[in-house]
Structure 1
């Protein structure tokens, strides 16, 4: 049986920290970085628990600025 493993890449320069992706993530993988800001002065999101990502792409779907790219691969269990 195989399991899906996911990974997200965030374009931090475009992220405005709206947190829609944080709410949409079913596995609570994404978190807002409070202490860092991007070149535009916005706090941005990053994968806080990257190992839990299942690659569902809910975060990328709700992102209004298209900042998130999702990668998926099958992992044999």
Structure 2
């Protein structure tokens, strides 16, 4: 992630059907499916905020929020 910014992964577990599309498209392997077959940000510190997971999620279950530090 760029200096001075933080990323939050907002995943609506009720909407997530565990298809794994977000996991497949993540270039930094940030996302994984947990034991309930739901998406989780396993390595959020590696996220580059490309938003491919948010764009590709067919159920709109993922939102990437980018905040400048100090806000």
Q: Where do 5+ consecutive residues of structure 2 fail to align?
A: none
What TM-score, normalized to structure 1? 0.76
Q: Where do 5+ consecutive residues of structure 1 fail to align?
A: 37-42
Matches within 5 A, 1:16-31: 16-31=17-32
4+ aligned runs moved over 4 Å, structure 1 = none
What TM-score, normalized to structure 2? 0.82
- 1:74, CA displacement in angstroms? 4.4
**8 A Cα contact 1:7 1:55, kept in partner:** no
Determine the C-alpha separation between the residues in 1 that align with 2:49 and 2:7: 4
- 1:49, CA displacement in angstroms? 0.3
Determine the C-alpha separation between the residues in 1 that align with 2:52 and 2:60: 12
Match of 1:12 in 2: 13
Determine the C-alpha separation between the residues in 2 that align with 1:5 and 1:58: 17
Q: CA RMSD in A?
A: 1.5
- 1:54, CA displacement in angstroms? 1.4
| Count of aligned pairs between the two proteins | 67
Q: Highest Rg: 1 or 2? A: 1
